[in-house]
């Protein structure tokens, strides 16, 4: 097989418009597809991030108080009564009061400093509050230290900035603050005037939000032992006994209303299992991945169809020429090789432009949306895909060309 | 009707200049039936394309129906082709997508004629070539002779002053060729000016006058048509 | 002549059904992708208050200092101290201060469970500044602000729930344990993006149920139902302590009608911040901002990045579809160069050939547009999988989008056809129909 590159280039110069159109199409397709692949991979990565929660058995009730004039002690009494009632339910394994929960989609977070008068924060941490049942209820994995004791659990009223002396942190936060690995027993400040000492470490524990800005603080969370007796409301996180999630979700609101009717549990989204929570918080990530997927597939199909169309046209235009070549002794596979080589040359030049455009688009998303830089892998993958696609799309018309009979050479007109 | 004086046509490439026509002179009077003969590559077809305003020329003058055409722009040339010239091609050149009626309609459409008049003219010219019953047929459904008759009908429909024919019978068998030739003669009798390029000495003999082209120049041999007809025949490829 | 070209175009499209289908699909998919993403983009990037967006400004004062502020920018809301200072100074003709509140509505009978009501604590000018439309009654007066009145404006929706949609002005109901009297009922009013509260919302929340008197909410020590952002170490244990902290939660708005007023207010803000520095409350030079509505929307990145990225990607997709169409049209037109030559020989001018092929392209564009319209309709209803529900429901297939889809499809295809048609028009008048 002889790859006659120079004659092909000479021939292409006579079809400037068609050649440039295919090259341009390949370039644009490559630019979009490699970015789409990159975005898909990133977003799917977000989607599969572990929350640390035993998601199959845990659900959350958003409980608002109807009477907003209650004192902290009134609220605390109600919360305690609610918890006793919840923990007694047959389908419920455990329950905890909380000010937020992982994957909530945003919520409380505090700056962390090593000293009380440090102005520039060391880092940032999501803040969870709960009682001694928090770790058990969420099913968190305690990798070092101990759980809270019941006597450590404090009360935080609506207008109070309370800093408990003990804290359980996620491993990510522990490692960030104490890279040497001996975080247990050490203390830090989280926007309080007094320090909190690390008594336990859990791994992992996702933040409440999944926003782009918090990527630098991924997985950094702390749990303070307190009941957040806020006059506005409280979250109850509940763990169902294995296999009894549906039952528990039915029983819990009834039990709460039996305790007191002066509360609001939104009938629409007042009670959500973790499947729902995860689905909601990753809405836009999943949407982006799906959109990019659809666009890539349709794009590749259209580009392939375009190449088939234009190559067929060229083959049609050059039937006589092909006949002459055949008459002069070209074998079928020489003709096949000619068209495949031609397409490869066009694809390759398109790919060069495509790589530039692809990186330009990526740069735009980096500067405007703080997205990450695309690694070369995606570009390589995109180039490979498009070159193979081009060859595959050329194959059918090229095969037809290779079957042109040498007799065509003798036909006039 | 058609007068070329000292006309030349040069094809230039990067390296060479080729004279297709050189000091070319011809004068076709109104109502004449002229056959143009000559060996392959002598410039017959170039003459015809220039005569039909399909191509421009390099030097000299060309008066068509009294109008000097060398300075006309593309639009004006299109208009003259449309109104004054009828073309009859060797390969018929019917548009395969259009049926007989629509094919004949093409030049009339470009003339901006009203639908009623178009229809009248199309049916008249079809009548004249004897194909009135085939108006709805597509070219592929007709024999070669019929296709050429349609092409002639298309050329006639616009009532051109000048008919240009390029080997009108070249793609036809003898019997069909005779029919087409008789049709051309009939059209000539009705007053049309016809310039026909042909290889066929028999056809050339049926014209009023023969013009012989060799190496892009005219050798006018009206007095001795037969001799040159034989010479031309000897040059057939 | 137009109908003739149209006939020719349709005939030609029928002749190559595969090629035609390919082009129609390319245009259809391209225009649909662009229109779906555009419908969302249009909804999220619009001007929510077109008549006044250049007169409404939100002042910002840096109470956190260079080490704790937002990379040099002041906080996106005010703390209590600064809010009160601006309120008392009353330097603008109209001004309002607001924060989100979350309340329970007690229904009359004890049979029903309490309802949740979201809304805002606002000052009197809110309604006139933001041109809130009323079905019944109206806003309250500055005197009501001073008197810490228990007046409330409710949405038409809540009015329907509480009073069956009747004129409820003057009636009373229980909110979070206290009685309030209705002074006005709004008609449907939910500007999107919700420019006036981008501190707590992403701009696309459901319509608020209630608007209560700002000073009354403070009296009841109501914490913000939205965001609260603080710096440094926090030690407050009472409402008073919280108010004196550096936490920000109040959004201020002022109405300034002329450049002179804007300049004067800017001076006032700078002077205020400078005074705070002299008084020792701020340990840094004045750092203030005064952004109007559109600047504020832009600064707060109201358009979700997903919307912008997907619009750009969809436009790129459309561009590829057009490049594809150019190539296919070129192939299609040039394949007919023989026919073009004959037409030219028969007297067609270049312009006539050009027009013929542009009209043929326009019919492809129209067909592509119709396909695009169907796909857009499907896409707009399915846009929920791509965007958060509160944003997805903004995407709508209205008359203007239908028109735009068709027009864009046709114009884009005709543009794509310029070059192929130009090539076709420059085919030489031919002696021979090249029919291989």
* B97/C350 CB distance under 8 A: no
Nearest chain A residue (CA) to C431 = A413
Average pLDDT over residues B9-22: 82
* B87/C346 CB distance under 8 A: yes
Q: What is the pLDDT of residue A102?
A: 93
> Looking at the DSSP assignment, which residues form a beta bridge with residue B210?
B35
Q: Is C394 found in the same domain as C358?
A: yes
Mutation test of the interface with chain B: which of C15, C20, C340, C345, choosing the one with the most B Cβ atoms within 10 A? C345
CA dist A175 and A173 (Å) reads: 5
CB of A413 within 8 Å of a chain C CB? The answer is yes
CB-based contacts of B176: which residues, under 8 Å, 6+ apart? B143, B144, B145, B148, B169
Model confidence at C233: pLDDT above 60: yes
Q: Is C97 found in the same domain as C155?
A: yes
- Chains in contact with A, where contact means 3 or more Cβ–Cβ distances below 8 Å, are C
Q: What is the ipTM of this complex?
A: 0.80
Q: What is the pLDDT of residue C98?
A: 96
Give domain B29-53+73-209+219-234's CATH superfamily.
P-loop containing nucleotide triphosphate hydrolases (3.40.50.300)
Q: Cβ(A249)–Cβ(A255) under 8 Å?
A: no
Question: How many other β-carbons are positioned within 10 Å of the β-carbon of residue B190?
Answer: 9
Q: Is C163 found in the same domain as C218?
A: yes
Question: How many other β-carbons are positioned within 10 Å of the β-carbon of residue C258?
Answer: 9
Residue bearing the bigger pLDDT, A87 or C12: A87
Kindly state whether residue C313 falls inside one of the protein's structural domains: yes
Binning pLDDT at 50, 70 and 90, where does residue A3 land? low
Residue bearing the bigger pLDDT, C162 or C12: C162
Nearest chain C residue (CA) to A106 = C227
- Chain C residues closer than 8 Å to A189 by CB: 233
Model confidence at C435: pLDDT above 60: no
Q: Chain B window 37-66: which residues touch C at a Cβ cutoff of 8 Å?
A: 45, 48-49, 52-55
Q: What is the pLDDT of residue A142?
A: 94
Average pLDDT over residues B142-167: 88
Give the domain-ending residue among C255, C289, C317: C255
* A368/C114 CB distance under 8 A: no
CB of A368 within 8 Å of a chain C CB? The answer is yes
Q: Which domain holds residue C251?
A: 63-255
Q: pLDDT tens for residues C251-279?
A: 999 999 999 999 999 999 999 999 999 99
- Residue carrying structure tokens 């405007």: A368
- Chain C residues closer than 8 Å to A69 by CB: 176-178, 220
- Secondary structure, 3-state, C54-106: CCEEEEEECCCCCCCCECCECCCCECHHHHHHHHHHCCCCEEEEEEEEEEEEE
Q: How many domains does chain C have?
A: 2
Q: What is the pLDDT of residue A410?
A: 59
- Chain B residues closer than 8 Å to C15 by CB: 97
Q: pLDDT tens for residues C327-349?
A: 888 888 888 888 888 888 888 88
In this structure, the strands spanning B209-214 and B217-220 are antiparallel
Q: What is the pLDDT of residue B237?
A: 35
Kindly state whether residue C251 falls inside one of the protein's structural domains: yes
Give the domain-ending residue among C227, C255, C283: C255
* C345/B54 CB distance under 8 A: yes
Residue bearing the bigger pLDDT, C156 or A13: C156
Model confidence at C114: pLDDT above 60: yes
Our CA-based measurement puts residue C8 at a distance from the nearest CA of chain B, in whole angstroms, of 9
* A305/C436 CB distance under 8 A: no
Q: Cβ(B148)–Cβ(B182) under 8 Å?
A: no
Our CA-based measurement puts residue A391 at a distance from the nearest CA of chain C, in whole angstroms, of 17
Q: Is C329 found in the same domain as C363?
A: yes
Model confidence at A78: pLDDT above 50: yes
Q: What is the pLDDT of residue B236?
A: 36
- Chain C residues closer than 8 Å to B96 by CB: 339, 435
Model confidence at B230: pLDDT above 70: no
Exposed / middle / buried, residue C93 (Cβ in 10 Å: 0-12, 13-18, 19+): middle
Give the domain-ending residue among C219, C239, C255: C255
For chain B, which residues make up each domain, given as ranges? Answer: 29-53+73-209+219-234
Residue bearing the bigger pLDDT, C5 or B51: B51
Average pLDDT over residues C338-363: 88
CB of C321 within 8 Å of a chain A CB? The answer is yes
Q: What is the pLDDT of residue C133?
A: 95
- Secondary structure, 3-state, chain B: CEEEEEEEEEEECCCCEEEEEEEEEEEECCCCEEEEECCCCCCHHHHHHHHCCCCCCCEEEEEECCEECCCCCHHHHHHHHHHHEEEECCCCCCCCCCCHHHHHHHHHHHCCCCHHHHHHHHHHHHHHHCCHHHCCCCHHHCCHHHHHHHHHHHHHHCCCCEEEEECCCCCCCHHHHHHHHHHHHHHHHCCCEEEEECCCHHHHHCCCEEEEEECCEEEECCCCHHHHHHHHHHCCC
Q: What is the pLDDT of residue C125?
A: 95
- Chain A residues closer than 8 Å to C328 by CB: 306, 309-310
Q: Can you give the pTM of this predicted structure?
A: 0.78
Q: Cβ(A125)–Cβ(A221) under 8 Å?
A: yes
CA dist A65 and A57 (Å) reads: 26
CB of C72 within 8 Å of a chain A CB? The answer is no
- Chain C residues closer than 8 Å to B78 by CB: 344, 347-350, 352
CB of A258 within 8 Å of a chain C CB? The answer is no
* C233/A317 CB distance under 8 A: no
Considering only the beta carbons, identify the residue of C223, C317, C386 that sits closest to A232.
C223
CA dist C302 and C362 (Å) reads: 37
Q: What is the pLDDT of residue B16?
A: 79
Our CA-based measurement puts residue B91 at a distance from the nearest CA of chain C, in whole angstroms, of 7
Our CA-based measurement puts residue C19 at a distance from the nearest CA of chain B, in whole angstroms, of 16
Q: Residues of C near B (CB-CB distance < 8 A)?
A: 1, 4, 11-12, 15, 338-339, 342-352, 428-433, 435
CB-based contacts of A180: which residues, under 8 Å, 6+ apart? none
Give Cα separations from A223 to A130, A161, C4, C159 (angstroms).
7, 15, 78, 42
Q: pLDDT tens for residues A346-364?
A: 999 999 999 999 999 999 8
CA dist B147 and B154 (Å) reads: 10
- Cα–Cα nearest to C32, from C381, C419, C362: C381
Q: What is the pLDDT of residue A210?
A: 83
Q: pLDDT tens for residues C77-94?
A: 999 999 999 999 999 999
* A288/C331 CB distance under 8 A: no
Q: What is the pLDDT of residue B226?
A: 45
Model confidence at C354: pLDDT above 70: yes
Q: What is the pLDDT of residue C108?
A: 65
Q: Is C73 found in the same domain as C43?
A: no
* A295/C314 CB distance under 8 A: yes
Q: Chain C window 191-250: which residues touch A at a Cβ cutoff of 8 Å?
A: 220-223, 225, 230-239, 241-242, 245
Model confidence at B59: pLDDT above 60: yes
Q: Is C81 found in the same domain as C23?
A: no
Average pLDDT for chain B = 84
CB of A384 within 8 Å of a chain C CB? The answer is no
Region of poorest pLDDT, from A105-119, A136-150, A298-312, A326-340 = A326-340
Binning pLDDT at 50, 70 and 90, where does residue A63 land? very high
Q: What is the pLDDT of residue A189?
A: 93
Kindly state whether residue C189 falls inside one of the protein's structural domains: yes
Q: Chain C window 249-288: which residues touch A at a Cβ cutoff of 8 Å?
A: none
Q: Is C345 found in the same domain as C210?
A: no
Considering only the beta carbons, identify the residue of A18, A157, A161 that sits closest to C235.
A161
Q: What is the pLDDT of residue C202?
A: 85
Q: Is C144 helix (H, G, I), strand (E, B) or coil?
A: helix
Average pLDDT for chain A = 88
Q: Is C112 found in the same domain as C189?
A: yes
Binning pLDDT at 50, 70 and 90, where does residue C429 land? confident
- Chain B residues closer than 8 Å to C433 by CB: 89, 91-94
Model confidence at B222: pLDDT above 70: no
Q: Is C250 found in the same domain as C156?
A: yes
Phi, psi of B77 (to 5 degrees): -65, -40
CA dist B9 and B21 (Å) reads: 5
Model confidence at B231: pLDDT above 50: no
Q: What is the pLDDT of residue A159?
A: 77
């Amino acid at each position: 097989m002889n790859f006659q590159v120079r004659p092909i280039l000479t021939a292409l110069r006579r079809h400037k418009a068609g050649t440039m159109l295919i090259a341009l199409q390949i370039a644009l397709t490559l630019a979009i597809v490699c970015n789409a692949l990159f975005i898909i991979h990133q977003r799917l990565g977000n989607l599969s991030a572990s929350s640390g929660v035993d998601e199959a058995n845990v659900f959350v009730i958003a409980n608002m108080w109807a009477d907003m004039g209650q004192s902290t002690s009134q609220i605390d009494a109600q919360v305690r009564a609610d918890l006793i009632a919840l923990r007694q339910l047959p389908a419920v394994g455990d329950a905890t009061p909380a000010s937020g929960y992982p994957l909530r989609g945003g919520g409380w977070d505090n700056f962390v400093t090593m000293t009380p008068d440090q102005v520039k924060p060391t880092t940032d941490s999501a803040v969870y509050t709960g009682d001694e049942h928090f770790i058990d209820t969420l099913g968190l994995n305690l990798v070092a230290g101990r759980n809270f004791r019941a006597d450590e659990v404090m009360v935080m009223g609506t207008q109070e900035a309370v800093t408990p002396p003990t804290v359980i942190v996620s491993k990510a936060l522990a490692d960030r603050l104490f890279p040497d690995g001996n975080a247990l027993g050490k203390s830090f400040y989280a926007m309080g005037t007094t320090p909190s000492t690390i008594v336990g470490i859990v791994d992992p524990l996702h933040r409440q939000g999944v926003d782009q800005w918090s990527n630098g603080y991924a997985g950094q969370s702390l749990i303070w032992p307190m009941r957040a007796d806020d006059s506005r409301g409280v979250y109850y996180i509940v763990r169902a006994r294995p296999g009894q999630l549906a039952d528990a979700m039915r029983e819990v609101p009834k039990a709460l209303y039996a305790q007191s009717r002066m509360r609001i549990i939104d009938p629409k989204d007042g009670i959500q299992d973790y499947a729902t929570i995860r689905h909601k918080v990753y809405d836009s990530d999943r949407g982006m991945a799906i959109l990019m997927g659809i666009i890539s597939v349709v794009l590749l199909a259209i580009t392939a169809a375009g190449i088939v169309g234009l190559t067929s046209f060229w083959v049609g235009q050059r039937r006589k020429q092909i006949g002459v070549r055949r008459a002069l002794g070209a074998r079928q596979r020489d003709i096949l090789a000619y068209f495949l080589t031609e397409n490869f040359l066009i694809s390759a030049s398109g790919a060069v432009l495509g790589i530039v455009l692809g990186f330009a688009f990526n740069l735009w998303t980096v500067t405007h949306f703080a997205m990450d830089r695309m690694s070369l892998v995606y570009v390589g993958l995109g180039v490979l895909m498009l070159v193979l696609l081009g060859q595959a799309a050329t194959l059918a018309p090229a095969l037809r060309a290779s079957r042109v009979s040498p007799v065509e050479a003798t036909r006039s007109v | 009707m058609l007068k070329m004086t000292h006309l030349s046509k040069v094809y230039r490439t990067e390296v060479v200049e080729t004279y297709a026509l050189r000091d070319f002179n011809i004068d076709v009077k109104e109502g004449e039936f002229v056959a143009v003969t000559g060996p392959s590559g002598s410039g017959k077809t170039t003459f015809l394309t220039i005569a039909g305003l399909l191509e421009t020329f390099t030097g000299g003058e060309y008066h068509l129906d009294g109008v000097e055409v060398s300075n006309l722009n593309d639009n004006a040339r299109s208009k003259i082709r449309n109104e004054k010239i009828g073309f009859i091609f060797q390969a018929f050149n019917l548009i395969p997508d259009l049926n007989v009626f629509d094919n004949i309609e093409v030049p009339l459409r470009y003339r901006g004629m009203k639908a009623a008049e178009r229809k009248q003219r199309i049916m008249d010219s079809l009548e004249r070539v004897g194909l009135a019953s085939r108006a709805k047929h597509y070219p592929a459904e007709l024999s070669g002779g019929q296709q050429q008759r349609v092409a002639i009908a298309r050329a006639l429909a616009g009532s051109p002053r000048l008919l240009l024919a390029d080997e009108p019978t070249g793609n036809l068998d003898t019997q069909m060729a005779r029919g087409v030739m008789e049709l051309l003669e009939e059209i000539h009798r009705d007053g049309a000016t016809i310039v026909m390029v042909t290889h066929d000495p028999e056809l050339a003999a049926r014209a009023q006058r023969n013009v012989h082209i060799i190496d892009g120049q005219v050798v006018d041999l009206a007095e001795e048509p037969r001799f040159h007809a034989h010479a031309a025949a000897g040059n057939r490829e | 002549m137009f109908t003739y070209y149209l006939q020719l175009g349709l005939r030609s499209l029928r002749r190559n059904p595969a090629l035609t289908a390919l082009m129609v699909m390319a245009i259809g998919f391209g225009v649909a992708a662009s229109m779906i993403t555009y419908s969302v983009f249009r909804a999220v990037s619009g001007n929510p208050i077109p008549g006044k967006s250049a007169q409404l400004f939100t002042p910002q004062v840096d109470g956190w200092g260079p080490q704790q502020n937002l990379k040099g920018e002041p906080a996106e809301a005010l703390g209590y101290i600064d809010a009160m200072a601006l309120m008392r100074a009353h330097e603008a003709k109209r001004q309002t201060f607001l924060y989100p509140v979350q309340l329970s509505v007690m229904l009359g009978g004890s049979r029903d469970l309490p309802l949740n009501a979201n809304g805002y604590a606002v000052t009197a000018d809110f309604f006139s500044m933001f041109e809130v439309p009323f079905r019944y009654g109206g806003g309250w007066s500055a005197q009501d602000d001073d008197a810490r009145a228990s007046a409330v404006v409710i949405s038409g929706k809540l009015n329907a729930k509480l009073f069956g949609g009747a004129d409820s002005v003057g009636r009373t109901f229980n909110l979070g344990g206290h009685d309030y009297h209705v002074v006005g009922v709004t008609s449907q009013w939910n500007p999107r993006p919700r420019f006036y509260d981008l501190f707590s919302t992403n701009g696309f929340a459901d319509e608020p149920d209630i608007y209560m008197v700002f000073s009354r909410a403070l009296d009841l020590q109501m914490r913000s139902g939205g965001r609260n952002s603080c710096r440094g170490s926090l030690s407050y244990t009472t409402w008073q302590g919280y108010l004196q902290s550096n936490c920000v939660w109040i959004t201020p708005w002022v109405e300034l009608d002329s450049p002179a007023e804007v300049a004067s207010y800017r001076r006032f803000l700078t002077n205020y911040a400078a005074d705070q520095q002299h008084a020792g409350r701020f340990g840094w030079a004045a750092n203030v901002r005064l952004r109007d509505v559109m600047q504020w929307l832009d600064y707060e990145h109201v358009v979700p990045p997903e919307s912008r990225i997907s619009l750009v990607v969809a436009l790129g997709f459309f561009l590829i579809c057009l490049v594809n169409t150019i190539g296919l049209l070129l192939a299609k037109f040039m394949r007919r160069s023989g026919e073009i030559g004959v037409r030219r020989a028969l007297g067609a001018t270049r312009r006539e050939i050009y027009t013929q092929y542009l009209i043929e392209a326009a019919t492809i564009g129209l067909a592509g547009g119709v396909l695009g319209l169907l796909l857009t309709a499907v896409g707009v209803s399915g846009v929920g999988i791509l965007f958060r529900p509160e944003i997805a429901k903004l995407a709508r297939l209205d008359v203007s989008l239908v028109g735009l889809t068709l027009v864009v499809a046709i114009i884009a295809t005709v543009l794509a056809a310029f070059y192929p048609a130009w090539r076709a028009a420059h085919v030489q008048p031919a002696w021979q129909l090249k029919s291989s």
